[in-house]
Amino acid sequence: MRILFAGTPATAADSLRVLRDRLAGGDHEIVAVLTRPDAPLGRKRVLTPSPVAAAAGEAGLPVIKAARVDDDVRAQLADLDLDVAVVVAYGALVPAAALDVPRHGWLNLHFSLLPAYRGAAPAQRAIIDGLTGTGASVFALRTGLDTGPVYGTVTAPIGPDDTAADLLAALTVSGTGLLADVLGGLADGTARATEQDGEVTLAPKLTLEDGLLDWSHPAAALDARSRGVTPEPGAWTTLDGQRVKLGPVRDAARPDLSGVKVPPAPEPGLVAAHGRSVLVGTGDGAVVLSTVQPAGRTPMPAADWWRGAQHGQEVRLGRREW
RNA sequence: CGCGGGGUGGAGCAGUUCGGUAGCUCGCUGGGCUCAUAACCCAGAGGCCGCGGGUUCAAAUCCCGCCCCCGCAA
């Protein structure tokens, strides 16, 4: 089959590499890659190709850079005589007019068990919600947000220390494998899609605000949230009006941390050292800090930060005094 | 010219406003104490204060130029 791969971020680039390996030597060929245009990146605003564009370049695949699938892009795709297009986080909606350009339409690899967690940040939201497992789905693109019929799913556990990065990495590999299987099924006519069934939930893109830790919340919730927003957009709090970025925080009451005895838990937001751990009080107990990164500084172990942060004063995080 | 923070022994920081002997909390090395310890006591090593110019009797500190790191934003 002649396949178009559409994607933009690093996760999609990994998926492209995995898919290419999976298809190597078979009857299927990725004939082109669609990704978003180069964008200014970083403080210096250097125009940088998307991770997918970079991966495609390494693989020697032709790249179409476009912010939207407009008439011009649609014409290019039509010329490619595509059997199918696959989308992994392209970053723009595929308009209805383009949906039937490939012979078998468009497939989307989505990192949830649909119809749960439709939207841009499904894996992250699953972690934040404290789930112990989630999965990936391959479905047929239709108009509407992640609403098409599902060809297949894989499941994945969410470990107690898993961050969004960990989960995405795992889902990328297993999900791309699933994608390869579905492509095979489409080619030999055995693939079947079934309409989504179940409770619909939404997983919108994470904002900076989603990473703000509210110390009045329960320790377990803060633990889950901090992992779900790591590495993007990152968990954070404030100290003296300055943003302080945090690595994942762990619920001090978790069984696997039984070594950490929490004396009277500090009140919410108050920092206290205990042995080698640095604790922060929450709504119901304490969390253990892992890494701390004050604005303008490089990330450091919590104990190192604590050493220099005290100056004889009590340290209270997250106070909105600004 | 997008906005902003930072670079000081191995780590994290103070000192820069107002120039005048390199400081704190740790770590490290050696010794002591202890049944023992992430505890405690004593001693010690370790620093072109990011780089280059300038001002000055004197610069971590003031002036000019440059390099590197990071937060926000995109």
Query: Which nucleotides of strand B lie under 7 Å from a protein CB?
Result: 2-6, 11-14, 24-26, 38, 69-74
Q: What is the pLDDT of residue A320?
A: 55
The stretch A205-216 carries a mean pLDDT of 90
pLDDT in tens, A214-264: 999 999 999 999 999 988 889 999 887 788 999 999 988 876 655 545 555
Strands (E), A158-222: none
Q: Which nucleotide is nearest to A236 (CA to C1')?
A: B71
Cα distances (Å, whole numbers) of residue A203 to A111, A122, A125, A313: 11, 5, 6, 41
Contact indicator for A245, A234 with CB cutoff of 8 Å: yes
> How many angstroms is C1' of B3 away from CA of A179?
43
Domain architecture of chain A: domains with CATH: 2-188 (3.40.50.170), 208-316 (3.10.25.10)
Tokens 């893109």, located at residue? A205
Tokens 């898919």, located at residue? A19
Give CA–CA dist A114/A229, Å, rounded. 21
Confidence of residue A272 (pLDDT cuts 50, 70, 90): confident
For the stretch A44-51, contacts whose Cβ atoms lie closer than 8 Å and that sit 24 or more positions apart, written own/partner, are A50/A8, A50/A9, A50/A13, A51/A8, A51/A9, A51/A10, A51/A12, A51/A13
Confidence of residue A321 (pLDDT cuts 50, 70, 90): very low
The stretch A23-30 carries a mean pLDDT of 83
pLDDT in tens, A156-183: 999 999 999 999 999 999 999 999 999 9
The two tokens of residue A187 are: 């080619």
Strands (E), A148-299: 150-157, 235-239, 242-246, 250-251, 271-274, 277-282, 285-288, 291-294
Contact indicator for A112, A87 with CB cutoff of 8 Å: no
Higher per-residue pLDDT: A190 or A275: A190
Q: What is the pLDDT of residue A257?
A: 55
Question: Is residue A296's pLDDT more than 70?
Answer: yes
Question: Is residue A194's pLDDT more than 50?
Answer: yes
The stretch A101-129 carries a mean pLDDT of 92
> How many angstroms is C1' of B21 away from CA of A214?
48
Question: Is residue A23's pLDDT more than 90?
Answer: no
Q: What is the DSSP letter of A266?
A: P
Q: What is the pLDDT of residue A265?
A: 67
Question: Which of A17-26, A32-41, A44-53, A189-198 has the least mean pLDDT?
Answer: A44-53
**Which residues of the protein are close to the nucleic strand B, CB under 7 angstroms?**
A 39-43, 45, 208, 233-234, 236, 243, 245, 259, 275-276, 293-298, 300-301, 304-305, 307-309, 311
Handedness of CA A63, A92, A105, A79 (dihedral sign): negative
pLDDT in tens, A120-143: 999 999 999 999 999 999 999 988
- Closest CA to the C1' of B1: that residue is A44
Confidence of residue A312 (pLDDT cuts 50, 70, 90): low
Give CA–CA dist A286/A250, Å, rounded. 9
- Closest CA to the C1' of B4: that residue is A296
Question: What number is the ipTM of this complex?
Answer: 0.81
Q: What is the pLDDT of residue A322?
A: 35
Q: What is the pLDDT of residue A263?
A: 56
φ and ψ at residue A71, rounded to 5 degrees: -60, -40
pTM, 2 dp? 0.85
Q: Which nucleotide is nearest to A294 (CA to C1')?
A: B71
Cα distances (Å, whole numbers) of residue A256 to A140, A160, A252, A306: 41, 9, 9, 23
Cα distances (Å, whole numbers) of residue A314 to A267, A269, A300, A310, A311: 12, 11, 20, 7, 8
Q: Which nucleotide is nearest to A42 (CA to C1')?
A: B74
State the CB neighbour count (10 A cutoff) for residue A32.
21
Question: Is residue A285's pLDDT more than 60?
Answer: yes
Give CA–CA dist A127/A255, Å, rounded. 19
Confidence of residue A310 (pLDDT cuts 50, 70, 90): low
Confidence of residue A187 (pLDDT cuts 50, 70, 90): confident
